[in-house]
Amino acid sequence: MKLLNQSAVGEYLAARFKTDGVPKAVLSAVYRRSEGNPLFMVNVTDYLVGRDAIARENGAAKLLETSDDESAPDTIRDLIERQVSALSSENQELLETGAVAGVTFSAAVVSGVLGKNRETTEHQYRELARTTHFLQYAGTRMRPNGHAAPRYSFVHALYHNVIYDRVDEARKRRLHQAIGERTEAAFAGNTDLVAAELALHFERARDFPRATKYLAVSAQLAAQRGILQVGLIRAVNILRLFL
């Protein structure tokens, strides 16, 4: 995504607040926190307006004196963290489990791992995609049993990274193990289709025998396609750790 310069951010703010001139303080507050990323620029502006940090007075945008204190996030990571924290604990759990599952993940896998009703979980993800900036619908993936599972993806890698980092290490390992086992069972007899995905989950769960197994499968498939066998080297390294 191409980053915007300060002048372009100023044009956006002028159009949004329907004013010819944008005060330097307002421009600086938005540009500094968004770093010129168009998506984050909109998010930061929404956040500051929603907190009454930016207001429109006498036909111009104005940064209020209290807007630059600790109540306003200094970086986009801070903003994302605050927006996630403002959600219900159940929605936070759905986002965090989805982040462990991957940048793109199956709602059906998450529902199984969390022991929730599948239809309810799918509805909750649809609502999260509709009402937040974090997720978008990513189509479906057919399972070997012929059922299509809806998938969602994080709109930006930074959303995924910040939410993934919220999960403590012990819980991450547990979730990676559960997600790996759930996916392995769903693709029983056809695990070569998701070998790389399984290798990642089992590696992060420190289930080295399974990780090595699926890394070897991934490397073999890559070799068959004429791709460098990086995965095989990785599998050997993990096997050494296990031994």
Q: Please give the Cα distance from 30 to 27 (Å, whole number).
A: 5
The pLDDT of residue 243 is above 80? no
Tell me the pLDDT band of 234, cut-offs 50, 70 and 90.
low
Q: Is the pLDDT of residue 228 over 60?
A: no
> What are the Cα distances from residue 194, in Å, to 37, 89, 201?
33, 30, 11
Q: Phi/psi of residue 47, each to 5°? A: -65, -50
The pTM of the whole model exceeds 0.85: no
Domain ranges for the chain: 6-69, 187-243
Q: Is pLDDT larger for residue 210 or for residue 226?
A: 210
- How much is the average pLDDT of 177-184? 97
The single residue listed with the structure tokens 């059922």 is 147
Which whole number is the average pLDDT over 231-243? Answer: 59
- Residue 107, H or E segment: helix 107-114
